[in-house]
Amino acid sequence: MLDLVRVRFAPSPTGHLHVGGARTALFNWMFARKEGGKFILRIEDTDLERSSMEFERQILDSLRWCGLDWDEGPDVDGDHGPYRQSERLDIYREHARKLVEEKRAYYVVYDKEDPTRELFSTFDYPEEYARKGHPVTVKFKVLPGKTTFEDLLKGQMEFDNSTIEDFIIMKSNGFPTYNFAVVVDDHLMEISHVFRGEDHLSNTPKQIMIYEAFGWETPVFMHIPLILGPDRTPLSKRHGATSVEHFRKEGILSRALMNYLALLGWKVEGDEIFTIEERLQSFDPRDISNKGVIFDYQKLEWVNGKHMRRIELDDLKREFVEWAEYVGKTIPDVDDEYFLNSLRICREKVNTLSQLYDIMYPFLSEEYEYEKDYIEKFLKKEESEEVLKEVKKELEKLDNWNMEQIERVLREVAGRGIASKKVVFQLVRGAVTGKLVTPGLFETIEVLGKERTLRRLERTLRFLKDL
């Protein structure tokens, strides 16, 4: 076990939680949990125009849903805060002043009529100019030489300082820039490892310069390849949905999403289907691939289907009910044993909770509708009424309501030559569920039970007369 592992996830509340951010959070969380360390959540909300509390709430909600609990950060009880950058402005200003005192940073005064034009720079705070409305920033002074660091994935990295100009660390509005705030925060929060997307790689030399200017020890850096779309560009909205919230609404289980995100880059031995807890002790960040990975929507759905058929029925019911409440769908109230039996056969045919709702609703409600294809292709056939009446008459005679007896009755009616076997089976399937695609016909009727099945056959016969 490593000493004092402290990692962080630091989202900006400018949009929903992206699956790429969720994967970064997951890898940090797994490392902290395996090593007995701390996972810290920090909100980087210095982008005043784009940040909002609504997005912050949604990000926190998505992280909780993913099972990625944090030890320090927003909403954690105890003396841990504040962990929002907008609440730490005095800290950044004080540290910027220290750099100016050490001649590693300086003030820049701008033309108040043209704020893009620099007038002059100075190590003394230009109070008179600031009072007259001139914008003033603080710039970091880049020294000659090279900046090097060891990346856990990419190995030795080297940057020539001559390619980096002096850069702003405090903006004229009194807010820090990203590269400055993140260094101050990571140092004060004693972050030992910084695992983040490789889109931050170009920021790292600037951040290391700031660490060195303060005489602080740098954390261990690891820059993870990005999640890509099919065209091998960074996954974005043009490829389709990218937010955790979207997949939650579509009926993806959180355990399945975490499973799939872990597979995107982490070399996992054995079965691809697992919960994070099952593989936590085998996690090693050095096993993460240094190549970009493509997000496959169909693979995610496949993984989700595997989890839906893997978990206990009671757990699936709880997840299903919570999902329906989240998206505002109504689940009719039925007997618990009947609900679980319906769930057991319906989950075999679907891969998401949304699909499960569609296929299971006719089991739960007597108000199901008949699909247009069922009406046009089967119910309007000349022989449909006779078939349904014969099936109803024979099923009424059954004392033992089980799949074998139900199958015997349906095959016997189909063998009378009134209609083909396919037509008989589909007529009955649609009559009792309204759909042409359901779980196995015989087990569907067995689960529906005798009373409900006969009632639905009678309902369909009445509907047929009104056609």
Which residues are annotated as part of the binding site for ATP?
Answer: 237
Task: Specify which residues 150 forms β-bridges with.
Answer: 156
Chain centroid, CA 217 distance in Å: 34
d(CA 427, CA 457): 10
Q: State the residue for tokens 């099952």.
A: 278
Catalytic residue among 103, 132, 237, 380: 237
Binding-site residue positions = 237
Question: With the C-alpha atoms ordered 205, 207, 211, 214, is the resulting torsion angle positive or negative?
Answer: positive
d(CA 198, CA 178): 16
Half-sphere exposure of 353 (CA within 13 A, CB side): 26
Q: State the residue for tokens 């002059």.
A: 120
Closest C-alpha among 182, 145, 186, 138 to residue 162: 145
237 is known as an active-site residue = yes
d(CA 163, CA 169): 18
Phi-psi region of 74 (alpha: psi -120 to 50; beta: other; left: phi over 0): beta
Within 8 A by CB and 6+ apart from 198, the residues are 154, 223, 224, 225, 226
Kind of pairing between the strands at 38-41 and 6-9: parallel
C-alpha to C-alpha distances, 151 to 49, 160, 225, 286, nearest whole angstrom? 33, 17, 12, 10
Closest C-alpha among 277, 217, 193, 194 to residue 2: 193
* SS3 (DSSP) at 168: strand
Q: Which positions are catalytic?
A: 237
